[in-house]
A and B are shown apart, each in its own frame.
Chain A
Amino acid sequence: MKNYINYVAATLAIATLTQCKPKSASQVVTGDAASKVYVAPGKYDEIYNFVSGGFSGQLAVYGLPSARLLKVIPVFSQNPENGWGYSEETKPMLNTSHGFIPWDDLHHVALSQTDGLDDGRWVFVNGNNTPRVARINLKTFRTEEIIELPNSSGNHSSPFLTENSEYVIAGTRFSTPLEGNNDVPISTYKENFKGTISFIKIDPTSGHMSVPFQVVMPPFNFDLSRAGKGPSHGWFFFSCYNTEQANTLLEVNASQRDKDFVVAINWKKIEEYAKANKGRVTTSKYAHNIYDDKVHSATSTISDGIVQFDAAELKGMIYLMPCPKSPHGCDTDPTGEYIVAGGKLAATIPVFSFSKMLKAIENKEFDGEFAGLPVIKYESALYGEVPKPGLGPLHTEFDDKGNAYTSMFVSSEVVKWNIKDLKVIDRKPTFYSLGHLMVVGGGTKHPYGKYLVAYNKITKDRYLPTGPELAQSAQLFDISGEKMEMLSDFPTIGEPHYAQAIEASKIKDGQVRFFKIEDNQHPFVTKGEKESKVVRTGNRIDVYATCIRSHFSPDNIEGIQMGDEVYFHVTNLEQDWDVPHGFAIKGAAMAELLIMPGETCTYKWNPDRVGVVPFYCTDFCSALHQEMQGYMRVSPKGSSVKLVWSLGDFSSDAPVAPAEKK
């Protein structure tokens, strides 16, 4: 009997223990989450969510709250799906001072702003590996411009935007020896290595970028940043780490100091200083690539002559604020008064006050200098610390009700806290180890709130397994109530770092549906089938081709010879929404072209054998798509076969039917 009682007690004890097990995801979802993310067929999502594609080099666009993938916008990586970086027109977009580069690592996303609000004109993204910043036009959802940043390595602290899109700022993760002094021992890091912060000016009408100047900084690793807004407009706040200035085993050596810094930069003053002073001009080369919708082509220009100023000469413009252990995020709240830093190895979240910081500067409450820059006393600029928020605070965004949401990488949770009293209100687990989080409009003066998305670094068991390599995971939360509520869980492309989101109404009605053929100024445009032709210039052949449902003109070409270089300039004559045509040639070392209505794209082909080679439309365009094809005859070099081209009689240009009425 006693044994029996012991047995029951033991069982009960074990049962109680299992209840201490962490909650699994299925237990986390409560209420009518399904109906909150359900967007009925034919209905639209409420929000566009622009999510970095990480190591895919591209930018993903999701609809929220459904989390449906709407589009992947090719930016820094070649995209065989639509010919980005393969067509003659788009190849220059991936040009750099190192030549053509087919890939990059895209981390952060910044929607253009007017008066501190998302205006839906452009989105800026960074290329981390070969430092570049790209601008995407939100009327066409296409990458329109890419500028390379010279004297920069590891463009991670980028791109961050001022409240009227005056500047995009880009800081360096890797400090390196700068021009004129680059061949030095790595161990001379402290003496010879420098970081830079590039100021990229945005033309308010065209959006075109230029780099009027760079600031040369001490060799810290700069991390995330935010511009001030409202009262703090004119300032920038960067987090940085490795103030130890280590050059090896950073994992340990860059984690020694108790405090790193938040760097406060008065960019308005620097802008004035740059206008009044000459600075040093470097000869480092950089590429500037612009795509133009009128000629449907990109041009790449290699420039040099970047102006630099040393941080030390910018007296009264740059200050350091001590910040606990290796901060990552550095975010200004909607009022512009509070600056929240996330020390990823710290146990508290420091909240700085902009007005206290100004006062501290005025009263010279400094703790000496570091690398020639004044260090503001920690307590003098501090508003307060959020006690015990969780482990590994990384990045904070804000809602419309005075609350902040901080991602906790180590403890894998989102923590909601109040900015005024710094008290934690709620915490919810994420799956797993989130990096950035995002609130809709969370970087603006007036956040939209309502939804928060956590972008996680580890996926594991979230979805049906797909071998060792898994998609990344993101989780959508409803933040309209006091407590956060997890709504859904969705896979993403590449690795999602930062993302931003904007009300669909600010973008959807301005969309380009097709390009007007009469506005097409491509040098090889063919504005009608009668103009289609084939021209030989030496061993270069230019095919002026058209496509319309459902044929190419011409569709039979003879007289191509081995050794020829054939340029197929295909103009899509359609003038209706969603009627792209595709183009591909058998055996060509190329990706297909996807030609939008009214656009001209060029496919370069070097025939590699004698024979008849088919080509066809790769995008199902109509009931007769399968008939949309053609042949080219390739003859040996020096062959007597004449260059001829043709299309059957029945074409859309050919007059048919009521001719007698004319």
Chain B
Amino acid sequence: MKKIRPLFRWIVLLATLLLVTVYYLPIWSIQLWAPQYPEGLEMLIWINNLSGNVDVINDLNHYIGMGKINVDMFPEFGIMVYVLGFVIFFGVATFFVNKRFMLYLYSSLLIVAAVAALIDFYKWEYHYGHTLNPMAAIIIEGQSYQPPLLGYKVLLNFTALSIPSIGGWILFGSGFTLVFLSILELFKARKERKKNSYHG
């Protein structure tokens, strides 16, 4: 099995070590604006916590029967710390093992983790936006309040925006880089195989 290009190998290490910052930075941001909230409300999702105006959002949402958001409703918080740890471990291992197949496995792991996280997030959002208290003061026939997965969405008097926060951008940046490097390595490997078979 072939080694990774030296430059790529160091980029892998750098991108992986960058992921450590994700423990200390918010990953995702949900922002809300309304006529009464020109300054906006923000909820930040961290690797194992929530911050921002969560209480204010909860107080507002009880009118329409939405649940209270709290840390306990995300069992993911207990797992994500270890998942990220494993990802970083795998990245460092890739650097030391220095074999292409490790890089392929590493980027596949990242893709799977990212897709799983987005699906999980979507499912939570669906559940959160559709599970409404039938006793709520304001009930609008057929209206649900699922937040957007990515981008803007108008929910009654609020405009919601869902985007990665700085930790999220680092995850995307590192992940994208690693996947891109894998593809380049894949092309190189193919070329080498062709060359080898030609010569062979």
Contact A575 B56 (CB under 8 A): yes
- Given A656-B67, A657-B131, A662–B73 Cβ distance below 8 Å? yes
A548 to B133, CA, bound (A): 18
Q: Smallest CB–CB gap between A516 and chain B, Å?
A: 11
Is there an interface contact between A656 and B133, defined as CB atoms closer than 8 Å?
A: yes
> Given contacts A657-B133, A658-B131, are A652 and B63 in contact (CB under 8 A)?
no
Interface string of B39-61 (1 = CB under 8 A from A): 00000000000000101101100
Given A623-B138, A661-B127, A662-B73, A650 contacting B59 (CB threshold 8 A): no
B72 lies within 8 A of chain A by Cβ: yes
Chain A hits for B66, CB < 8 A? 657
- The verdict on B34 contacting chain A, using a C-beta distance below 8 Å, is no
**Cβ-defined contact, A574 with B72, below 8 A:** no
**CB pair B73 A661 closer than 8 Å:** yes
Measured CB to CB, the nearest residue on chain A to B73 is A661
Shortest C-beta distance, B34 to chain A (Å), equals 12
Residue B135 is within 8 A (CB to CB) of chain A in the complex: yes
Q: Is B65 part of the contact surface with A, judged by Cβ < 8 Å?
A: yes
Residues of B within 8 A of A622 (CB): 63
Contacts of A662 in B (CB 8 A): 72-73
Other-chain residue from A549, A624, A656 in contact with B68 (beta carbon distance below 8 A): A656
Q: What is the bound-complex CA distance between A548 and B68, given in angstroms?
A: 15
Cβ contact of A574, chosen from B59, B73, B75, cutoff 8 A: B59
Q: Given the known inter-chain contacts A657-B66, A657-B67, please indicate yes or no for A652 contacting B59, CB distance below 8 A.
A: yes
Q: Is B104 an interface residue (CB 8 A)?
A: no
Check if A655 is an interface residue, CB within 8 A of chain B.
Answer: yes
Answer whether residue B99 sits at the interface, using C-beta atoms and an 8 A cutoff: no
Complex Cα gap A657–B65 (Å): 8
Q: Is the CB of A576 within 8 A of B59?
A: yes
Q: Which A residue's beta carbon lies closest to that of B56?
A: A576
Chain A residues lying within 8 Å of B73, measured Cβ to Cβ, are 658, 661-662
Q: Is there a chain A Cβ closer than 8 Å to B124's Cβ?
A: yes
Number of interface residues of A (CB under 8 A): 19
Q: Knowing A624-B63, A662-B73 are in contact, say whether A657-B68 is a contact too (CB < 8 A).
A: yes
Interface string of A596-627 (1 = CB under 8 A from B): 00000000000000000000000000111001
Determine whether B1 belongs to the interface, using a CB cutoff of 8 Å to chain A: no
Residue picked from B58, B62, B72, most chain A C-beta under 10 Å: B62
Contact B65 A656 (CB under 8 A): yes
Q: Which of A88-127 contact B (CB under 8 A)?
A: none
Find the B residue at minimum CB distance from A622.
Answer: B63
Let me know if B163 is at the binding interface, CB within 8 A: no
Chain B's closest residue to A42 (CB) is B38
Interface mask (B140-172 → A, CB under 8 Å = 1, otherwise 0): 000000000000000000000000000000000
| A650 CA to B131 CA, complexed, in Å | 15
A-B CB pair tally, cutoff 8 Å:
51
Complex interface: chain B residues within 8 A of A657 (CB): 65-68, 128, 131-133
Tell me the bound Cα distance from A662 to B133 in angstroms: 17
- Find residues 12-28 in chain B having any chain A CB closer than 8 Å to their own CB: none
One of A549, A627, A650 near B135 (C-beta < 8 A): A650
CA A173 to CA B42, docked complex, whole Å: 56
Which of A650, A652, A655, A658 is the most central at the interface, judged by chain B CB atoms within 10 Å of its CB?
Answer: A658
Chain B residues with CB under 8 A of A575: 55-56
Max chain B C-beta neighbours (<10 A), residue from A548, A574, A661, A662 = A661
Residues of B within 8 A of A656 (CB): 62, 65, 67-68, 133
Interface centre among A623, A627, A655, A656, by most chain B C-beta atoms within 10 angstroms, is: A656
- Give per-residue flags for B110-139: 1 if the beta carbon is below 8 A from chain A beta carbons, else 0: 000000000000001001100111010110
Bound complex: CA A590 to CA B85 (Å): 62
Residues of A near B56 (CB, < 8 A) are: 575-576
A576 to B60, CA, bound (A): 11
Q: Are B67 and A652 in contact (CB under 8 A)?
A: no
* Chain B residues whose CB sits within 8 angstroms of the CB of A655 once the complex forms: 67-68
For A649, the chain B residues whose CB sits under 8 A away are: 135
Closest beta carbon of chain B to A273's beta carbon, Å: 55
Q: Which of chain B's residues has its CB closest to A623's CB?
A: B63
In the bound assembly, the distance between CA atoms of A658 and B75 in angstroms comes to: 13
Chain A: CB-nearest residue to B38: A42
The distance in angstroms between the C-alpha atoms of A576 and B57, with both chains bound, is: 10
**A658 — which chain B residues lie within 8 A by C-beta?**
67, 73, 127-128, 131
What separation, in Å, do the CA atoms of A568 and B72 have in the docked complex? 34
Residues of A within 8 A of B124 (CB): 661
Q: In whole Å, how far is B92's beta carbon from the nearest beta carbon of chain A?
A: 34
Interface residues of A in 436-482 (CB under 8 A from B): none
Chain B residue, CB-CB nearest to A578:
B36
Nearest chain A CB to B64's CB is how many angstroms away?
A: 10
Q: Residue on B with the closest CB to A576?
A: B56
| A581 vs chain B, min Cβ distance (A) | 12
Residues of B within 8 A of A650 (CB): 133, 135
Task: Report B61-96 CB contacts with A as 1/0, cut-off 8 Å.
Answer: 011011110001101000000000000000000000
Residue of chain A at shortest CB distance from B137: A624
Leading 9 A-B pairs by shortest Cβ distance: A657-B67, A656-B133, A576-B56, A657-B131, A658-B67, A661-B73, A650-B135, A658-B131, A575-B55
Pick 19 A–B contacts, CB within 8 A, sort by A. A549-B59, A549-B63, A576-B56, A623-B137, A627-B137, A649-B135, A652-B62, A655-B67, A656-B67, A657-B65, A657-B67, A657-B133, A658-B73, A658-B128, A658-B131, A659-B67, A661-B73, A661-B127, A662-B73
Partner-B contacts on A (CB < 8 A): 548-549, 574-576, 622-624, 627, 649-650, 652, 655-659, 661-662
Given A576-B55, A656-B67, A657-B65, 6 extra CB contacts under 8 A: A622-B63, A624-B63, A652-B62, A656-B133, A657-B68, A661-B73
